[in-house]
Structure formats: structure tokens, C-alpha cells
Amino acid sequence: MRDVVEEVGRWAVRRDRIAIAMVVGAERSAPRPLGTKMPINDRGEIASAVRTRSHTSNTRTTY
């Protein structure tokens, strides 16, 4: 958890826009349960242990 907070702190220093994403669905197995939250910035970087092989193609973003 500390590494996630430190990473988000670095983003804030860079003045990145930051949002919190939540896992709301999964196909097949998933590394984290539904409801897991993870910070993401406007560069597409994710500060979390939640990863996919290609998060850009496997992640649906809703604003």
C-alpha cells in the first residue's frame, strides 16, 4: 500500500490528473476481487498490483 501512496504522490508532484478506478467485472480469473480500487493517471499509468497483459485493450473506462 505504501508504494501505491508514494507513486500517487509522485504523480501529484508532476501535476498529473488522477482518478480512482474500481474493478466492477471480470472475465475468467482475476488477480483482485470485484470492488478493488486502483489509482490511474491521465498518462494511463496504474499504481496497483492489478494488471492485465495489456490493460489498454482489456480495460473499459467509463467517465
Q: What are the residue ranges spanned by the domains of the chain?
A: 2-50
Round to whole Å and give the CA distance between 29 and 45.
22
Beta-strand runs (E) in 1-63: 18-22, 37-41
Round to whole Å and give the CA distance between 63 and 14.
23
Q: Kindly report, residue by residue over 14-35, the tens digit of the pLDDT.
A: 999 999 989 898 888 877 788 9
40, burial (CB in 10 Å: exposed 0-12, middle 13-18, buried 19+): buried
Q: Kindly report, residue by residue over 30-62, the tens digit of the pLDDT.
A: 777 889 888 999 999 988 755 544 444 344 444
